[in-house]
């Protein structure tokens, strides 16, 4: 019989300690450049969702350890802030190279702790890698502005300065990409950072931190604490932390937004979603079906940009058989298995919640076309698997429509017209993303203009912008003013300062007490 956890992995990684015999390896903290074992008495197990094996456990960081992490970040700030931006960029150049060299190891850790397929895990790392590549151009991104001679002998210029200690709080669904949305931009701007990975899958963040230090990130510039609500509240309240980035659910996000803002911090919160696609009768059939299957069931629906609701103008009847056929052909298996299309969902509670929401739909008039709730995956009977599930005749009063399901469940709705479909979407509280499938430019243009969603796809199912743009969720999917990465990301992690200087041979002779105007 296999050991319930691998001590070989623990021995090899600097960020893990072997616990006493027959206890799982312990994930360490990162404080001041050292991976240290927490003295906490309380832990949370990290569980492989395909097998229920305990992979490792994270400590609930103590108040003293949290203080030490923030202090390390605070002490590292003056030196790092004064390090030339070219040197900071070079760390990112080396970091991106090391991430590339370790893609397979990172992906394997993500599949083990999070469950998604290896190929999908590889994409999780790759989309984060692109943010690191973007940070390599920070000299230009952080550049200020200059206007010469705004008044006689007077010039004004602006510079963007780092804030100090910043913090990031991560969700479970993208264990590599989301930490990489946060700290590479923050630290390349000259800030230091305290990261709190998801307690469900901290491994990728730990591996990335190890690589960042190998790339030359000085001690204390990046620190990692673990835990749940208490450590998050410490982050919100701490006077030395100037900005907080959060990605996760609305419940946690709105709590963090109000608590950290009340303490005077900048906050950016990317939160939940209910992303719709409108399908017009003139859409390209094959491409549209593939897009709905990929974006509805990919990552077992656990993406904030998952397309969970398809609104068919003129009704879904003519699409249903083909959707069911293609969805039934997907392979549900452990993400480690080569041909798996979707892996398990993160936990038993997540599975129960998904199944309950589906049942409430069925009980209230939705027609179930494909039911994946009772799936059993051979060799992985204990896994939290949910097979592709499709509900038709869904209406906007149903619980399964109002809640973010975050599982492999596609809802089909009908609308009388494009206007009617747009109205349905605009009435939804979330505004992360919305797509349209059509061959009519006129309809597409109407959609892009009238739709109230932050990220719009036209014949594209998951329009997550590349890092030179920002991740622009809106309405209840975002709280804050400055979005993640892109230009806004740099603005979020810097304070703008404008400087007005006068250099002239003979300054004004007479004192004037009136408001200065251009002379």
Q: Which of 136, 166, 189, 304 is catalytic?
A: 304
* Residue 304 annotated to the active site: yes
Among candidate residues 234, 81, 281, 268, the one with its CA nearest the CA of residue 162: 81
Among 471, 485, 492, 493, binds ligand NAD (CB under 6 A): 471
Instruction: Give the shortest CB-15-to-ligand NAD separation in angstroms.
Output: 17
- β-bridge partners, 276: 309, 434
Cα–Cα distance measured from residue 249 to residue 199, given in angstroms and rounded to the nearest whole number? 14
Contacts of 186 by beta carbon, 8 Å cutoff, 6+ apart: 166, 168, 193, 243, 245, 493
SS3 192: strand
- Comparing CB distances to ligand NAD, the nearer of 162 and 467 is 467
Residue nearest to ligand NAD as judged by C-beta position: 248
- 249-308 residues in contact with ligand NAD (CB under 6 A) are 249, 252, 255, 270-273, 304
- Comparing CB distances to ligand NAD, the nearer of 71 and 403 is 403
Instruction: Give the shortest CB-397-to-ligand NAD separation in angstroms.
Output: 21
CB 217 within 8 A of CB 247: no
- Comparing CB distances to ligand NAD, the nearer of 353 and 367 is 353
- Comparing CB distances to ligand NAD, the nearer of 117 and 198 is 198
Among candidate residues 57, 74, 257, 290, the one with its CA nearest the CA of residue 164: 74
Among 35, 77, 172, 257, binds ligand NAD (CB under 6 A): 172
Q: Which stretch binds ligand NAD (CB under 6 A): 154-162, 243-251, 276-284, 408-416?
A: 243-251
Cα–Cα distance measured from residue 133 to residue 138, given in angstroms and rounded to the nearest whole number? 10
Cα–Cα distance measured from residue 71 to residue 241, given in angstroms and rounded to the nearest whole number? 10
In order of 243, 352, 428, the CA distances from 272 in angstroms are: 21, 19, 12
> Edge-to-edge, what's the strand order for the sheet holding 34-36?
34-36, 29-31, 222-224, 192-196, 165-169, 241-247, 266-270, 478-479
- As a whole number of Å, the CA-based R_g of the chain is 25
Among 176, 189, 232, 482, binds ligand NAD (CB under 6 A): 232
- 202-231 residues in contact with ligand NAD (CB under 6 A) are 228-229
Instruction: Give the shortest CB-273-to-ligand NAD separation in angstroms.
Output: 5
Should residue 477 be labelled a site residue for ligand NAD when binding is judged by CB under 6 A? yes
Instruction: Give the shortest CB-269-to-ligand NAD separation in angstroms.
Output: 8
Question: What residue spans of 29-84 are helical by DSSP H?
Answer: 63-81
> What angle do the packed helices 118-135 and 103-114 form, to 10 degrees?
120
- Comparing CB distances to ligand NAD, the nearer of 24 and 248 is 248
- Comparing CB distances to ligand NAD, the nearer of 273 and 418 is 273
Q: End-to-end distance of the chain based on CA atoms, in angstroms?
A: 85
Instruction: Give the shortest CB-337-to-ligand NAD separation in angstroms.
Output: 25
- Comparing CB distances to ligand NAD, the nearer of 230 and 322 is 230
| Maximal C-alpha separation, the chain | 92
Q: Which stretch binds ligand NAD (CB under 6 A): 2-10, 118-126, 134-142, 242-250?
A: 242-250
Instruction: Give the shortest CB-333-to-ligand NAD separation in angstroms.
Output: 23
Instruction: Give the shortest CB-69-to-ligand NAD separation in angstroms.
Output: 15
- 416-455 residues in contact with ligand NAD (CB under 6 A) are 432
- Comparing CB distances to ligand NAD, the nearer of 182 and 418 is 182
# residues near ligand NAD by CB under 6 A: 28
Instruction: Give the shortest CB-41-to-ligand NAD separation in angstroms.
Output: 19
Should residue 247 be labelled a site residue for ligand NAD when binding is judged by CB under 6 A? yes
Should residue 198 be labelled a site residue for ligand NAD when binding is judged by CB under 6 A? yes
Among 473, 480, 486, 489, binds ligand NAD (CB under 6 A): 473
Q: Which stretch binds ligand NAD (CB under 6 A): 150-158, 373-381, 442-450, 469-477?
A: 469-477
Q: How far is CA 25 from the centre of its chain?
A: 26
DSSP string, 41-52: S-EEEEE-TTT-
List strand residue ranges (DSSP E) for 215-296, in order. Answer: 222-224, 241-247, 266-270, 275-279
The one-character DSSP state at 200 is T
Among candidate residues 242, 163, 138, the one with its CA nearest the CA of residue 486: 138
Which residues have a catalytic role annotated?
A: 304
Applying CB under 6 A, the residues found at the interface with ligand NAD are 169-174, 196, 198-199, 228-229, 232, 247-249, 252, 255, 270-273, 304, 404, 406, 432, 471, 473, 477
């Amino acid at each position: 019989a296999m050991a319930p956890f691998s001590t070989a992995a623990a021995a090899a990684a600097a960020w893990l300690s072997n616990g006493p015999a027959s206890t799982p390896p312990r994930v360490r903290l990162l404080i001041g450049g050292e991976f240290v074992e927490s003295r906490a008495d309380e832990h949370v197990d990290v569980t492989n969702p395909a097998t229920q094996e305990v992979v490792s456990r994270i400590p609930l960081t103590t108040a003293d350890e949290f203080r030490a992490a923030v202090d390390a970040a605070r002490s590292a700030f003056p030196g790092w802030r004064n390090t030339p931006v070219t040197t900071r960029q070079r760390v990112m150049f080396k970091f991106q190279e090391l991430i590339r060299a370790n893609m397979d190891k990172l992906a394997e850790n993500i599949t083990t702790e999070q469950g998604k397929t290896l190929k999908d895990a590889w994409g999780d790392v790759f989309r984060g890698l692109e943010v690191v590549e973007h940070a390599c151009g920070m000299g230009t991104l952080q550049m200020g502005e200059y206007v010469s001679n705004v008044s006689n002998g007077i010039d004004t210029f602006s510079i963007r300065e780092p804030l100090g200690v910043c913090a990031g709080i991560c969700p479970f669904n993208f264990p590599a990409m989301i930490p990489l949305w946060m700290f590479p931009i923050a630290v390349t701007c000259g800030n230091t950072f305290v990261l709190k990975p998801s307690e469900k899958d901290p491994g990728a963040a730990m591996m990335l931190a190890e690589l960042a230090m190998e790339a030359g990130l000085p001690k204390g510039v990046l620190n990692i604490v673990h835990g749940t609500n208490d450590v998050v509240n410490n982050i919100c309240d701490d006077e030395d932390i100037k900005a907080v980035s959060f990605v996760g659910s609305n419940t946690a996000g709105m709590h963090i937004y109000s608590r950290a803002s009340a303490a005077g911090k900048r906050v950016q919160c990317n939160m939940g979603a209910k992303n719709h696609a409108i399908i017009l009768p003139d859409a390209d059939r094959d491409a549209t079906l593939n897009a709905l299957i990929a974006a509805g069931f990919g990552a077992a629906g656990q993406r904030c940009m998952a397309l969970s609701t398809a609104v068919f103008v003129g009704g879904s009847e003519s699409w249903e058989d083909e959707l069911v056929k293609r969805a039934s052909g997907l392979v549900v298996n452990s993400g480690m298995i080569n041909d798996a299309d979707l892996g398990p969902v993160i936990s038993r509670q997540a599975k129960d919640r998904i199944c309950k929401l589906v049942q409430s739909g069925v009980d209230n008039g939705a027609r179930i076309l494909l039911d994946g709730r009772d799936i059993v995956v051979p060799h992985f009977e204990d896994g939290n698997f949910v097979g592709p599930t499709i509900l038709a005749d869904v209406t906007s009063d149903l619980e399964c429509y109002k809640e973010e399901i975050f599982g492999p469940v596609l809802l089909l709705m009908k609308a009388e017209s494009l206007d009617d479909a747009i109205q349905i979407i605009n009435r939804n509280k979330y505004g992360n993303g919305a797509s349209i499938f059509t061959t009519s430019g006129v309809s597409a243009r109407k959609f892009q203009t009238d739709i109230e969603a932050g990220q719009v796809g036209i014949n594209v199912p998951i329009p997550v912008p590349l890092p030179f743009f920002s991740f622009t969720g809106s309405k209840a999917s975002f709280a804050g003013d400055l979005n993640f990465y892109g230009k806004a990301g740099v603005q979020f992690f810097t304070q703008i300062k404008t400087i007005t200087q006068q250099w002239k041979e003979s300054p004004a002779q007479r004192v004037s007490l009136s408001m200065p105007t251009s002379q």
